Structure 1
Amino acid sequence: MLSQAVAATFRQHFGSTPLVVRAPGRVNLIGEHTDYNQGFVLPAAVDKEIYFAVALNNTTDINLYSSDLQEALSLPAADVHRTDTQWANYLLGVVAQFQQRGLTVPGFDCVFGGTVPIGAGMSSSAAVECGLAFALNHLMHTNLDRMTLAHMGQKAEHEYAGVKSGLMDQFASLFGRAGQVVRLDCRSLEYEYFPFDTSTTRIVLCNSGVKHSLASSEYNTRRQECEHGVAVLQKHYPQVQSLRDATPAQLQAHQAEMGDVVYQRCLYVVQENERVDVACRALLAGDLANFGQQMYASHAGLRDQYQVSCRELDILVEAARSLPGVYGARMMGGGFGGCTINLVAVDQVDQFVEKMTAAYQEQLGLKLETYQTTIVYGVGTMEAVASK
């Protein structure tokens, strides 16, 4: 088991017995780019995970080791800052969040590694942030609740990774429940769980192999475009605090003032919030066909209105659409690469993977990685496995 391997690596490097924490990546069934617009999202924690081995070391130094990259970084706890080592910034950003709350972070040792594919839109960065935040909260006895830890992870991403992400990724990693998806209201932070029956339907991810970085200018540009649209609307409708409050009719009435690009960005977000609502009602009714149609519509909006898809993702969605047992498919994550998420009948999964792999090779000459995922519980501790 990977958790045992990470714990063993920790003992080899630091010679003590660590706390072992598991932090899952996430999928988002529907509701993309809505979180930073105070809208609705529908994520779930999945069994692609990052494991942490962490212990306080009775010094004033922080020692970090990435077992996947076999790279280390050390610095004084009193001198936490952004570094040129990108992977370490996600962790150091979390430490800074404790310090900004007036909490003194003692020296600690940390080894981490995992199975969340990097750049696949499954929020490996959020898993890294939430896993360390949970571990330090436990070791330091600071008694911060999970929502506070989620916000700390989000701010670490903003301040140390330079990505103005919404709260969904950290929330999903911390609040996941096995066999359930969770709808988060990104304004009020109220949330509700919905059953997702993985005995009849599997979530299969198809990795385009295109690497993307949410820190790219395009992600932050989309956020600015949405904010511009809200600023236009507020001149006419003071009650509109975010796109969550806007209607298609209001957007259309001021399309000329916004310009077509901003109008399309905003219209996508307003329509995507409605799709999340329809999709949740479909889950309660056991209507996977309707749920799948919302996924296809979501992808079309991301492709044409929000313009964050790419040729590889579009080919994967279209290939899935024609296969038996597929309820729905769409790109998932920030965009410009990463995975598509597909809902597939259990008895059709093997054929689906075979056909998709062949189609991707035939159309693009590229090898396709696929992942079958199970919905699991959120961040938690594990027993450190005794060395053998």
Structure 2
Amino acid sequence: MLALAIADAFQQRFGYSPLLVRAPGRVNLIGEHTDYNNGFVLPAAIDKEITFAIGLNKKDVIRLFAFDNDEAVEIPVGEIKPSQTQWANYLLGVAAQFRDAGVVVPGFDCVFGGTIPMGAGLSSSAAVECGLAFGLNELLQTNFDRMKLARMAQKAEHTYAGVQCGLMDQFASLFGRPGQVVRLDCRSTEYTYFPFDVSHYHLVLCNSGVKHALADSEYNTRRQECERGVALLQRHYPAVQSLRDATEEQIEAHRAELGDVVYRRCLYVVQENARVVAACEALAANDMSAFGQLMYGSHAGLRDNYEVSCPELDKLVEIAQGQTGVLGSRMMGGGFGGCTINLVEAEHVAAFVATTSAAFLSFYRRGLETYQTSIVGGVSELEPVTQSA
């Protein structure tokens, strides 16, 4: 049991009993590249998670230990700043956010490790940030609410890890509920939960095993293309402050003026926002077949109009289509690699994994990593575990 191993490592290193916290990773069922366009996303917390042991050490030093890497970092509390060790920056950034909020951050110890596969797009970084933020909030009795903690964790990633992420990952880790997905309005931060029938339908992730180098630069390019579209539409429709406000009719009316590329980027975002709304209606009606078709539509839009897919992701979706018990499949995340997310009837999951793995191996001559996930609750405290002798 990971929590036992983490608690035991903490006890052996630091000699006292810690607070134990679990912080889940997340999937996004639908709503890709909509967050920075003030649109909707539909994430869920999953049972791949980071476990923390945290305690106040009554010293003037922060002592961090990455259990999985067997690597330690120490820094005086008066010198919190980005370090040369990248994993430590996610944690130090959180400590800096408490300090910047006017909290006196004392010396503390932290041991963490997890089951979130690195590089699979399941937001291990957000789980690391949110787990420590939750733990410090408890230990220091700062009483920040979960939205405040999510924003602090997001800002930690901006300032210390150098990643200009949206709020979805941190939000999902903190606000997850068992058996439910949550629609987040990225403009207002209002959110609504929808039921997901976890007993009859499972989410299976297939890792393409690739992450193309152009992902970051193309991400920035897509943002700029969307901004150009908004700037042009605003000249005709002053109420359009972001693509969240635009309609398909407006985009079609100015197709020539937008140009082919910007037109297709804007069309995808407007259609994807509509798909998220429709997907929530399908969940409310327990119409999982309709939900799956919207997933396929999302992938087609990401592939053809937003152009952020890649051959490996397209092949995985193609393999999924037509298999018995598979209701939907699409790429998940920023694109150019990472995972597909697949909606599969529970009794067909084993066959889906076997068939997809065999087809991928035959085509690419390499194995396929798959992850079967359950939808769980957000960051929480764990009960103390019995230490080994």
TM bucket by the smaller chain? over 0.9
> Structure 1 stretches of 5 or more lacking a match?
none
| Match in the other structure for 1:120 | 120
Partners in 2 of 1:45 and 1:214 — Cα distance? 28
Partners in 2 of 1:352 and 1:189 — Cα distance? 36
| Match in the other structure for 1:79 | 79
| Match in the other structure for 1:358 | 358
Q: 1:41 to 1:383 in 2, by over 3 A?
A: same
Contact 1:163 1:220 in 2 (8 A): no
SS of residue in 1 equivalent to 2:198? coil
Q: 5 Å matches for 1:138-153?
A: 138-153=138-153
Q: 1:220 to 1:198 in 2, by over 3 A?
A: same
The one-letter code matched in structure 2 to 1:21 is V
SS of residue in 2 equivalent to 1:385? coil
Provide Cα deviations, 1:198-217, integer angstroms capped at 9, x if missing partner: 11111111111224689833
2:270 corresponds to 1:270: yes
| Match in the other structure for 2:200 | 200
| Match in the other structure for 1:30 | 30
SS of residue in 1 equivalent to 2:27? strand
Provide Cα deviations, 1:96-154, integer angstroms capped at 9, x if missing partner: 21122121211111111101111111111111111011011111110000011111111
Partners in 2 of 1:83 and 1:211 — Cα distance? 25
Q: 1:322 to 1:334 in 2, by over 3 A?
A: same
| Match in the other structure for 2:159 | 159
The one-letter code matched in structure 1 to 2:252 is Q
The one-letter code matched in structure 1 to 2:371 is Y
SS of residue in 2 equivalent to 1:209? strand
| Match in the other structure for 2:185 | 185
Give the alignment's Cα RMSD to 1 decimal. Answer: 1.6
| Match in the other structure for 1:304 | 304
Contact 1:6 1:111 in 2 (8 A): yes
| Match in the other structure for 2:70 | 70
After TM superposition, the structure 1 stretch with the greater mean CA deviation from structure 2, 15-24 or 302-311, is: 302-311
Q: Cα offset for 1:355?
A: 0.1
SS of residue in 2 equivalent to 1:223? helix
The one-letter code matched in structure 2 to 1:19 is L
Contact 1:162 1:215 in 2 (8 A): no
| Match in the other structure for 1:341 | 341
SS of residue in 2 equivalent to 1:111? strand
Partners in 2 of 1:214 and 1:94 — Cα distance? 29
- Could you tell me the TM-score, scaled by structure 2's length? 0.96
Q: 1:290 to 1:156 in 2, by over 3 A?
A: same
Partners in 2 of 1:213 and 1:124 — Cα distance? 20
SS of residue in 2 equivalent to 1:113? strand
The one-letter code matched in structure 1 to 2:219 is Y
Contact 1:120 1:211 in 2 (8 A): no
Provide Cα deviations, 1:193-244, integer angstroms capped at 9, x if missing partner: 1111111111111111224689833323322332232222223222112111
Q: Cα offset for 1:10?
A: 1.1
Q: Cα offset for 1:47?
A: 0.3
Q: 1:182 to 1:370 in 2, by over 3 A?
A: same
Provide Cα deviations, 1:51-98, integer angstroms capped at 9, x if missing partner: 011111112211111111111111122222222211111111111211
Q: 5 Å matches for 1:1-388?
A: 1-211=1-211, 216-388=216-388
After TM superposition, the structure 1 stretch with the greater mean CA deviation from structure 2, 210-219 or 297-306, is: 210-219
The one-letter code matched in structure 2 to 1:347 is E
Partners in 1 of 2:131 and 2:213 — Cα distance? 21
Q: 1:16 to 1:217 in 2, by over 3 A?
A: farther
SS of residue in 1 equivalent to 2:241? coil
Q: 1:346 to 1:214 in 2, by over 3 A?
A: farther
After TM superposition, the structure 1 stretch with the greater mean CA deviation from structure 2, 54-63 or 207-216, is: 207-216
Alignment: residue pair count: 388
Q: 1:165 to 1:257 in 2, by over 3 A?
A: farther
Partners in 2 of 1:216 and 1:62 — Cα distance? 32
Contact 2:215 2:334 in 1 (8 A): no
Partners in 2 of 1:305 and 1:280 — Cα distance? 23
Partners in 2 of 1:359 and 1:113 — Cα distance? 33
SS of residue in 2 equivalent to 1:208? strand
The one-letter code matched in structure 2 to 1:172 is A
Provide Cα deviations, 1:27-51, integer angstroms capped at 9, x if missing partner: 1111111112111111111100000
Q: Cα offset for 1:257?
A: 4.2
Q: 1:257 to 1:92 in 2, by over 3 A?
A: farther
Partners in 2 of 1:217 and 1:142 — Cα distance? 38
Provide Cα deviations, 1:256-288, integer angstroms capped at 9, x if missing partner: 444432322222111100000111111122211
Contact 1:163 1:214 in 2 (8 A): no
Partners in 1 of 2:23 and 2:48 — Cα distance? 9
Contact 1:97 1:155 in 2 (8 A): yes
Partners in 2 of 1:128 and 1:215 — Cα distance? 23
- Could you tell me the TM-score, scaled by structure 1's length? 0.96
